[in-house]
Structure 1
Amino acid sequence: MLALTSIWTTILLAAAVALAPMAIDMYLPALPQIGADFSAGTDQVQLTLSIYLIGFALAQLVCGPLADRFGRKPVMIGGMLLFALASVGCALASNIETLQLFRFLQALGGSAGPVLARAIVRDVYTPRDATKILALLAGMMALAPAIAPTLGGFIVAFMDWHWIFIVMAAYALIMVAVIAFGIPEPLRPEHRQPFRLCSLLRNYRRISTDRTFIGYTLTSAAIYGGLFAFLSGSAFVLIDVLGVAPEHFGLYTALTAGGYVLGNMASIRLASRFQPDQILFYGLIITVTSGATMALLAYQQVYSPWAVILPQAVFMAGTGMVLPQTMAGALANHPTMAGSASALLGFTQMTSAAGAGALVGLLHDDTPMVMATLIAGFAALGLLGYLLMVQRYPAQDFKTQNASS
């Protein structure tokens, strides 16, 4: 077993969390092909992503409290087994409705990784230290959206989209073995919470009325909306509208993932010089500026892959600075309910993401305009959440440098 504070444990957690973005990013290049195979419209194909996000959001509300009661490892292992089985179901789907059903089940299992990885970081580290670990974890996790679309594009080009889900299933089974034998249980017995409906509702009520939690969570959710507006619309915009070949799609999106990594690295480097909320503000300014640039280019009818990818790469750099701060800030006040707090944070993020995905599918007009406008709008909402809530109710533990930092 590895030590919980080991860099190898952080790498394993990143690999576990990567299962969720992989389930989104790897099949993006296949969306047009799936629509053609099932004779389904853009809105129906897009629904396979929105349904995944809805299931992901709902499952977290139960996954977090279960982990607070029974421990992190059993719930994470069970979730990944469900993910593997549902992935096989997706591969065998014979129509769009069956694919949507198994995508929902896939999301129920896939939610365990991100929720419990955040909770484990909060179990082990102080809130201020957690911002650095979450940034490091997110930076490593960004390899998934960099690699997954490229791999998915090659599978679509040279094999068949069904094999994308077989690869997902195999990855999940490998992670089950790694988690089972690689890391110890981080939740101490004295911190376990009873899993009773009254206790569950009481915990969620306590967390959801914490204004600090609300501020960081809403800010994070808005940026997630912008991120998933891109993920939902990028395949249709780049492949169908701008003529990018499916096997090249991943190379373009890898640049946006590179922006995310740079943002995470900047977040880690700036942590010794600036308060977390200052880094959060700088990141939000970057997302607003880049989102507005993409929207302006779209309204000026500058229709080129680079008019989408370059602003999005900068947006992702800002996102890489924003998300570690908002995640750590949202969990700061709830050390004994980290699983439930992480679940409620994730539920709000994924609800925003699902809404963004649904809007992209419904409003798509065969131009980049809808996607770009939504990205800019969600970025502006994130900055508004910071100004109205985070500035007024900051996480207290962010204000002092911890001795262990």
Structure 2
Amino acid sequence: MSSPQISKLSFATFIFPLALVLFEFAVYLGNDLVQPAMLSVTRDFGVSSSWSPASMSFYLLGGGCIAWLMGPLSDRIGRKKILLGGALFFAVTCILILFTQNIQSFLGLRFFQGMGLTVISAVGYAAIQENFEERTAIKVMAIMGNMTLFAPLLGPIIGAFMIDHMSWRWGFIGISILALLGYFGLKMAMPADQTAKLSKQPMRHILQDFKMVYRNKQFVILTSALPMACLPIMLWISLSPVMLVEKIGLSSTQYGLAQIPVLGALILGSTILVKIVDKHPLGQTVFWGLPMMLLGALIIVFGLFVPDYYVWALIIGMTIMSFGEGICFSVLYRMAMMSSEVSKGTVASAMSMMMMLTFFIVLEVSRHLYEAFDIYAFSFCCLALVSLWFTLPRIMLKKVMLERREQGTF
């Protein structure tokens, strides 16, 4: 495993992450702009609005299905080649979706677009973790996260505008242009892979590498904690168009404005993490963030018993949950990534597979539960997800922090 090389952030050292953010922003807009526009998509294709969450589910499934390949392949042929190919492929699929004539072909291309998620998570993030020192890598990830959070912040507003004033197809045109800008930025700014650091193992060793990763108890538990921390916000992005517009009766503009405090809190939490991560033992912010998320989930459940104020309880609760995720997710990600000594491309792929497939399963189950139990399903799903973190993940994180303290690396 190569040692981190960069310990301080400067404009020069941030050019590559900045180029990666352009591509990542396009990939995230591929979900956050499209989801609110799905009400328009389903109308155009003449199907029920219950198909709306399936767009996000297939997007995530596409990422999960190729995660096993992208990381190990980038270990062997280089991360830059995979990132450039992934950005170009994503841009092409965004253009092709303009020509779909039914919801089935639309979802099929959403599946292929979702592969861009894995290129980012299994290749791009691995490159960041390898090239930056531990706490600097956390700062870089948090800063990148803040920049890409403009996707879920602006996406619902733009998506709502598209519903009222223009075709959803223009959204995909804009996304494809951003992806191409990311492609050219990466081509110019991303450092060339060092041949000496590429894995010499043949591809047939992939299975052995994955076995080694998944036999690592610490890796499995810490990685399983990641969906518990971020799925409530993903459920919000997926289901809030249906809940706020169709169920509660907000206008498209009101729906877009409702996203501002929720996603703004996520940006605020990540910004605070950058400021305080050097001042506390690594992992401490997780023990602050997850209890906040639990409080937010309890407020949402409480709102069920005061229906006249449910929308306020929902927005306040989700805002608190978003802030809690913001101050803990990048730390959880780093600790999970570095818990295995296997090549980081393979580790990142193993993480992507676990996370993407978990996302797909939970989102699809939540979609069906929502059809049956309405806002009760959303509220209790959020509470259940956050509550699960207080079992094995919490115990493992305390153990890891104790070991780091004993080693003098906390």
Q: TM-score, normalised by structure 2?
A: 0.90
SS at 1:104's partner residue?
helix
Supply the AA of the counterpart residue of 1:122. Q
- The one-letter amino acid paired with 2:220 is I
In percent, how many aligned pairs have the same letter? 19
Letter in 1 for 2:256: G
Aligned pair partner of 2:68 in 51, 55, 61: 61
- Of 155, 159, 174, 1:167 maps to 174
Q: Which of 384, 387, 394 matches 2:394?
A: 387
Q: 1:5 to 1:299 in 2, by over 3 A?
A: farther
Whether 2:185 is the aligned partner of 1:140: answer: no
Deviation at 1:246, TM superposition (A): 2.1
CA offsets, 1:272-305, max 9 Å, x none? 2211221111111111111121122124324554
Cα drift, residue 14 of structure 1: 2.5
Q: Distance in 2 between matches of 1:228 and 1:359?
A: 13
Match of 1:352 among 341, 347, 358: 358
Q: Please name the residue that 2:209 is paired with.
A: 203
- The residue type paired with residue 287 of structure 2 is F
- Pick aligned residue for 2:45 from 34, 38, 42: 38
How many residue pairs end up in the alignment?
401
Matched, 1:111 2:118: yes
User: Is residue 372 of structure 1 aligned with residue 379 of structure 2?
Assistant: yes
Q: In the alignment, what sits opposite 2:6?
A: none
Label 1:173 to 1:398 Cα distance change in 2 as closer, same or farther (>3 A): farther
AA of the residue aligned to 1:219: A
Partner of 2:235: 229
Distance 1:76 1:397 in 2: 33
Deviations 1:287-346 (A, max 9, x none): 111112112212432455432222111111111122111111012144661111112112
Aligned to 2:250: 244
CA contact (8 A) 2:95 2:176 kept: yes
Identify if the C-alpha distance between structure 1 residues 181 and 398 changes in structure 2 by more than 3 Å, giving closer, same or farther.
Answer: farther
| Ranges in structure 2 where 5+ consecutive residues have no aligned partner | 1-8
Counterpart for residue 272 of structure 2: 266
- On the 8 A contact 2:282/2:401 being kept in 1, the answer is no
Farther off after superposition, 218-227 or 299-308: 299-308
Structure 1 match to 2:134: 127
Cα deviation, residue 240, structure 1: 0.7
Tell me if structure 2 keeps the 8 A contact 1:22–1:145.
yes
User: What corresponds to 2:54 in structure 1?
Assistant: 47
> Structure 2: which amino acid aligns with 1:201?
L
SS of the residue corresponding to residue 102 of structure 1 reads helix
The alpha-carbon deviation at position 204 of structure 1 amounts to 1.1
Assess, with a 3 A threshold, how the Cα gap between structure 1 residues 130 and 74 changes in structure 2: closer, same or farther: same
TM-score, length basis structure 1? 0.91
Is the 1:153–1:246 Cα contact (8 Å) retained in structure 2? yes
1:45 maps to a residue whose letter is S
Compute the displacement of 1:25 (Å): 0.6
2:84 equivalent to 1:77: yes
1:58-110 CA-partner distances (Å, limit 9, x unpaired): 22221111111111111011111111111122222110001010001111234
1:193 matched residue in structure 2: 199
**In the alignment, what sits opposite 1:153?**
160
Q: Which runs of 5+ in 1 are unaligned?
A: none
Q: CA deviation at 1:6?
A: 1.6
Q: Whole-Å Cα distance in 1 between the matches of residues 326 and 402 of structure 2?
A: 19
What's the Cα RMSD here?
Answer: 2.5
Tell me by how many angstroms 1:205 deviates: 1.3
Q: Larger deviation: 204-213 or 242-251?
A: 242-251
Task: Please tell me the residue identity of whatever aligns with 1:145.
Answer: P
Post-superposition shift, 1:247? 3.7
Corresponding residue for 1:295? 301
Matched, 1:217 2:223: yes
Instruction: Assess if the C-alpha contact under 8 Å between 2:22 and 2:179 holds in 1.
Output: no
Q: CA deviation at 1:24?
A: 1.0
Residue 253 to residue 313, structure 1, CA distance change in 2 (3 Å): same
Tell me how far apart the structure 2 counterparts of residues 28 and 388 of structure 1 sit (CA, whole Å).
36
Q: Distance in 2 between matches of 1:152 and 1:226?
A: 21
Whole-Å separation in 1 of the counterparts to 2:195 and 2:125: 19
Aligned residue type for 2:93: A
Distance 2:378 2:182 in 1: 34
Distance 1:398 1:208 in 2: 25
Instruction: Pick one of 15, 19, 23 that aligns with 1:12.
Output: 19
Partner deviation per Cα, 1:120-150 (whole Å, 9 max, x = no partner): 1111123333222222221222122111221
Q: What is aligned with 1:184?
A: 191
